A and B are shown apart, each in its own frame.
Chain A
């Protein structure tokens, strides 16, 4: 197999600059083993994460697929799926590509083999701890940041080690200028660190329980600033960096435009960070923040497409190779999916589109076009390209790789089309009024049952996609067996001269100056990514009028708090929103729309992002406690045809009061106005309230002990949204 690049299509004008100083050529070795290790981890975690996704997908059609255990219910494994595919599959994919390309772009071995190893094993341990804790219900409930505080600290440590290793390599590089790929890696490192630190601010109650440092609207803003930019800086910028390396390598063509890469890099990282509030359109978030989210999302189209253009136009003159080469096939679809998703995103951020699409499967379709198409396919293409080079042997089977490509593409279509269909259907059904001015589908369940066939199809799409990944694993395994790993790849380059003596340092494009200075470039990127977040968050925290207070809103009673923590533990917010939007179709269905002031004691906020079941913000007092009791035991008894699983363990498990006093103390520290010394009365108060619910249930001939978890959950559900209900 041809491993070295042939000369470029057009000969460089004058790449050979006469050197005034004789430079000794140094010999060094690239670390390929770490690349291989991350690559294997990518494939294994990919299979696990996607398999969990397939299970979750089919559970929406057949809830009994959780086999009756708490650990496999949708609410608990959905975060496992998202964390596994984002941080385990894509995360390891990033590190695979970065560790391979960074060494070569810097003409240097990684800064430290020890740091590389700590990074590798540390990251895998974090993922294993996620796999261990999420199904057990240890979760903060904040999307893509569900892991509890000790794991958050571990993530911080490992991320710093990654950064240390990366900047160390950059510092000892033998290449004067940093290639565009590295700019993206630097922006990724910095921004993910900032996002993680700010969003994970939480106060521990015990080893695996904490409360968010922010409440309600502010928590929502921080979370979606994080959530949106996790997509931007974990799923987009590092992958753009990888594309800038692997695309021209595989196509053997020059990058289309250097100046385009400058413009789209800086505009992308600057604008992306502002767009978070588009996840909160038509919610209790203040209007000005929503409008900023809309405006900046629209401005994101061109910067995002800059990457697409530079990728696709790099293929000019190499399109014939796309027919032959599965790697390029994967890249082309990946970049196309990126282009589609980044156009669709700004469209979804328009308020009138969002009004229909939000909370429906449209959003699920949208993210999966990005995840399966862009991240998945770029990863697969990269692995197919890397393995023959790491193992010094041709790929075991190009044909099998092409089969994988078609299975994957088919899988994406089978996934996305039914989900778009489901999204439009449900979004329109929710809003449909009949000629008498009443909701056409007043029963929420009617709109869900419509979607079940789509949920089957989507699951089949997922299976097709996953089966392709098994082919990938087999193909890579056979390739590795046929060759031997070149663990240390020999390379030669002269050391870097002091800048004053370096002939590469010429007056040219102003940006070249920045490319010689990693520190200044990092500072520039930091400033660019801090502005948007600061402009949105600082006023939200400091200006009181953003969250108008409501006198009748009180902190949760201890039993309600216990119930709320169960709601978080069971992952109810994965399917139920707590945000009645200001539309007639929603206030008719649920009741008064949600106000910012109602959430000031919500740590974390539980607005949710998807309505697989109905909104619950006004569920308090809507049904008798006995309805909830029967419903949680068997949802179909109260809602025939419901796709919600039963929760029988809530009737057996006893409420854990051991941490309740600590919870009250933590909340007091966070300015929840419980009376002084309330932590000592909290358990008694909870038991008292539980007795009331038990007595209430007894009237309906339901016998339940007051210390069962179901009682706490009912207390919470009956409290929801009632603080301002009286006014109506």
Chain B
């Protein structure tokens, strides 16, 4: 999580940097081509140096400001108390500097009102300014929010947001790989490592329906010679990937990786003839090894 946060903070800074840099570039050479990715590392270094300098500068400024405010507090206080300054905007900023709590909590006069209810009295103190301005801010936020999404129509509402998310995801998927009609041309895996990871994928995902030893429960027995949707590895792969709509075999596309699906297909084929206990009676057509489309 921490790394994630750091990452996102870094990317935010990078975005800021690119804005800064492009702004300078724009000022100097409007026709300059956009920075190439290759130049990023150099830019990045420059950015960190600049950012560091900026930070130091800001710290110094802050320190100076604090020093002045602390050193000159009596004078500032006097200035603040001038009636011509006291109630102006700049006067209020000054008030914050000299630490006038009234600006945060309001004028606490604590004058009792001339009524009481069953012994309960009431003051009539000001609304705390932070509360008042906070309320105003939320109202401005709310109005702008509605304006942004529904009048200016600038923001993405959920449909558009979803479409954008799916478009972005589609960039990662190679075209054509999702056509259920195209059969893959894999060979079954035989390496022990592949078979054993296939076995663990099977145990967590397939065993509830096909049984712990693939003897068949809700789903068919996978250890006999009978197949409902083809027993050759690429047919098994296809059945796993796309599922059999309406018959209970769910699609594992997006849940298992291509490699995992091939591993589990290979594992299943390796179980052929293992004769587990309580086998489910055969379903589908008998297939003899070698009869299938591609060679085993």
Are A5's CB and B119's CB within 8 A?
yes
Q: Is A565 an interface residue (CB 8 A)?
A: no
Task: Out of B125, B139, B157, B172, name the residue touching A257 (CB < 8 Å).
Answer: B125
**Which A-chain residue is minimally distant from B161 (CB atoms)?**
A582
Q: Does A63 sit within 8 A of B, measured CB to CB?
A: no
Q: Could you say which of B19-27, B181-189, B232-240, B243-251 contacts chain A?
A: B243-251
Q: A104-B118, A442-B254, A622-B250 are in contact. Are A302 and B131 (CB under 8 A)?
A: yes
Question: Is A498's CB within 8 Å of the partner chain B?
Answer: no
User: Of A101, A582, A630, which one neighbours B159 at CB under 8 angstroms?
Assistant: A582
A436 contacts B115, CB within 8 Å?
A: no
Nearest CB of A to B221, in Å:
12
Determine if A658 is an interface residue (Cβ-Cβ < 8 Å): no
B170 vs chain A, min Cβ distance (A): 9
Complex: how many Å from CA A303 to CA B139? 11
> With A and B bound together, what is the CA distance between A10 and B113 in angstroms?
10
Q: Is the CB of B173 within 8 A of A584?
A: no
Contacts of A13 in B (CB 8 A): 111-112, 114
B141 touches A298 (CB 8 A): yes
Interface residues of A in 574-600 (CB under 8 A from B): 582-584, 587-588, 593
Quick one: CB contact mask for A172-192 with B, threshold 8 Å, 1 for yes?
A: 000101010000000000000
Also in contact, A298 and B118, with CB within 8 A (given A8-B112, A257-B123, A623-B250): no
Answer whether residue B84 sits at the interface, using C-beta atoms and an 8 A cutoff: no
B44 to chain A, nearest CB (A): 23
Q: Which of A281-315 contact B (CB under 8 A)?
A: 282, 287-288, 290-292, 294-296, 298-299, 301-303, 305-306, 309, 313
Hey, which chain B residues are within 8 Å of A254, CB to CB?
Answer: 112, 120-123
A260 interfacial by beta-carbon distance below 8 Å: yes
Q: How far is the CB of A602 from chain B (nearest CB, A)?
A: 20
Residues from chain B with a CB closer than 8 A to the CB of A621 are: 245-246
Q: How far is the CB of B141 from chain A (nearest CB, A)?
A: 6
Is A18's beta carbon under 8 Å from chain B? no
> Which residue of chain A has its CB nearest to the CB of B280?
A701
Across the interface, do A249 and B120 meet the contact criterion of CB distance under 8 Å? yes
The residue in chain B whose Cβ has the minimal distance to the Cβ of A292 is B146
Distance between Cα atoms of A295 and B158 in the complex (Å): 16
Given A626-B218, A700-B218, A583 contacting B256 (CB threshold 8 A): no
Q: Is A105 an interface residue (CB 8 A)?
A: yes
**Which of B125, B146, B208, B254 meets A256, CB within 8 Å?**
B125
Instruction: Render B209-230 as a binary contact track against A, CB cut-off 8 A, 1 for contact.
Output: 1000000011100000000000
User: Quick one: given A258-B124, A260-B127, are A624 and B115 in contact (CB under 8 Å)?
Assistant: no
Q: Considering the complex, which residues of chain B in the window 105-154 have a beta carbon less than 8 Å from any beta carbon of chain A?
A: 110-128, 131, 134-135, 138-139, 141-143, 145-146, 149-150
Q: Which of B113, B116, B218 contacts A638 (CB 8 A)?
A: B218
A245 on interface, CB distance cutoff 8 Å: yes
Q: Which residue of A lies closest to B252 (CB)?
A: A442
CB-contact partner of B117 in A17, A105, A296, A302, under 8 A: A105
Cβ A584 vs Cβ B124 within 8 A: no
Please tell me if B169 contacts chain A, counting CB pairs below 8 Å: yes
Residues of B within 8 A of A112 (CB): none
Q: Do A439 and B205 have beta carbons less than 8 Å apart?
A: no
Q: Are B254 and A15 in contact (CB under 8 A)?
A: no
Contact, CB under 8 Å: B157 / A8: no
**A593→B162 CA distance, assembly (Å):** 10
By the criterion CB–CB under 8 Å, are B208 and A245 in contact?
no
Q: How far is the CB of A63 from chain B (nearest CB, A)?
A: 17
Name the B residues within 8 Å of A622 (CB-CB). 248, 250
Whether B166 is near chain A, meaning CB under 8 Å from some CB there, is yes
CB neighbours of A257 from chain B (8 A): 122-127
**B204 interface residue (CB < 8 Å to A):** yes
Q: How far is the CA of A436 from the CA of B120 in the complex (A)?
A: 66
A624 touching B128 by the CB < 8 A rule?
A: no
Q: A438: which B residues are within 8 A, CB to CB?
A: 254-257
Q: Which of B139, B150, B158, B169: most chain A CB closer than 10 A? A: B158
Does the CB pair A256–B123 fall under 8 Å? yes
Q: Which residues of B have CB within 8 Å of A255? A: 120-123
CA distance A639 to B209 in the complex (A): 9
A255 to chain B, nearest CB (A): 4
Instruction: Check if B42 is an interface residue, CB within 8 A of chain A.
Output: no
Please, how many angstroms separate the alpha-carbon atoms of A10 and B111 in the complex? 8
Which residue of A14, A299, A436, A630 contacts B142 across the interface (Cβ within 8 Å)? A299
Q: Is the CB of B112 within 8 A of A258?
A: no
Per-residue CB proximity of A624-664 to B under 8 Å, as 1/0?
10110010000001111000000000000000000000000
**What's the Cα separation between A589 and B207 when bound, in Å?**
19
Question: A544 interface residue, CB < 8 Å from B?
Answer: no
Asked if residues A10 and B110 are in contact (CB atoms below 8 Å), the reply is yes
Chain B interfacial residues counted at CB < 8 A: 59
The chain B residue sitting closest to A12, CB to CB, is: B112
Whether the Cβ atoms of A258 and B122 lie closer than 8 Å is: yes
Is A507 interfacial (CB-CB < 8 Å)?
no
B154 to chain A, nearest CB (A): 13
What residue of chain B has the Cβ atom nearest to residue A5's Cβ? Answer: B119
Complex partner residue of A305 from B131, B246, B250, B252, CB under 8 angstroms? B131
Partner of A309 from the list B119, B131, B250, B256 (CB cut-off 8 Å) is B131
Write out the residue numbers on chain A whose beta carbons fall within 8 Å of the beta carbon of B145.
291, 294-295, 298
Q: What is the CB-to-nearest-CB distance from A728 to chain B, in angstroms, rounded to a whole number?
A: 9
Complex formed: what's the CA distance from A640 to B250 in Å? 17
- State whether the Cβ of A11 lies closer than 8 Å to any Cβ in chain B: yes
Contact among B124, B131, B138, B219 for A298, CB-based, below 8 A: B138
Residue from A8, A267, A638 having most chain B Cβ neighbours under 10 A: A8
A302 CB contacts on chain B under 8 angstroms = 131, 134-135, 138
Nearest CB in chain B to that of A178: its residue = B117
**A10 touching B169 by the CB < 8 A rule?**
no
B31 at the interface (CB under 8 A from A): no
User: Residues of B contacting A259 with CB < 8 Å?
Assistant: 124-127
A627:B209 contact, CB within 8 angstroms: yes
Distance to closest chain B CB from A219 (angstroms)? 20
Check: A504 CB closer than 8 A to any chain B CB.
yes
The residue from B112, B120, B158, B172 contacting A11, defined by CB atoms under 8 A apart: B112
Shortest CB-to-CB span from A433 to chain B, Å, is: 8
Set of chain A residues within 8 Å of B138, measured between Cβ atoms: 298-299, 301-302
Which B residues touch A260, using CB under 8 A?
125, 127-128, 131
> Distance in Å from the Cβ of A316 to the closest Cβ of chain B?
8
Residues on B with beta carbons closer than 8 Å to the beta carbon of A287: 149-150, 157-159
Q: Are B218 and A624 in contact (CB under 8 A)?
A: yes
Chain A residue nearest to B157 in the complex (CB):
A287
Is A295 a contact partner of B146 (Cβ separation < 8 A)? yes
Q: Which residues of A (216-260) have their CB < 8 Å from a CB of B?
A: 245, 248-249, 254-260
A262–B128 Cα gap in the complex (Å)? 14
Task: State the CA gap A630–B210 with chains docked (Å).
Answer: 13
Contacts of B246 in A (CB 8 A): 621
Which residues in window 54-99 of B have CB below 8 A to A?
Answer: none
A437 adjacent to chain B (CB < 8 Å): yes
Q: How far is the CA of A598 from the CA of B248 in the complex (A)?
A: 23
Asked if B165 is an interface residue, CB under 8 A from chain A, the answer is yes
Would you give the 0/1 interface string for B256-269, flagging 1 where the beta carbon is closer than 8 Å to chain A?
11000000000000
Instruction: Write out the residue numbers on chain A whose beta carbons fall within 8 Å of the beta carbon of B250.
Output: 622-623
Interface residues, chain B, with chain A CB atoms under 8 Å away:
110-128, 131, 134-135, 138-139, 141-143, 145-146, 149-150, 157-159, 161-162, 165-166, 169, 172-173, 204-205, 207-209, 217-219, 245-248, 250, 252, 254-257
23 A-B pairs (CB sep. < 8 Å): A12-B114, A12-B116, A101-B118, A105-B117, A107-B118, A179-B117, A254-B123, A263-B127, A282-B158, A287-B149, A287-B159, A295-B146, A298-B138, A299-B135, A299-B141, A438-B256, A438-B257, A587-B162, A622-B250, A623-B248, A623-B250, A624-B219, A630-B218
A436-B172, A437-B172 given. 9 additional CB < 8 A pairs?
A: A177-B115, A245-B120, A258-B122, A295-B141, A298-B138, A303-B135, A582-B161, A626-B248, A627-B209
10 closest A-B pairs by CB:
A624-B248, A442-B255, A302-B135, A295-B142, A254-B121, A582-B162, A5-B119, A104-B118, A179-B117, A257-B125
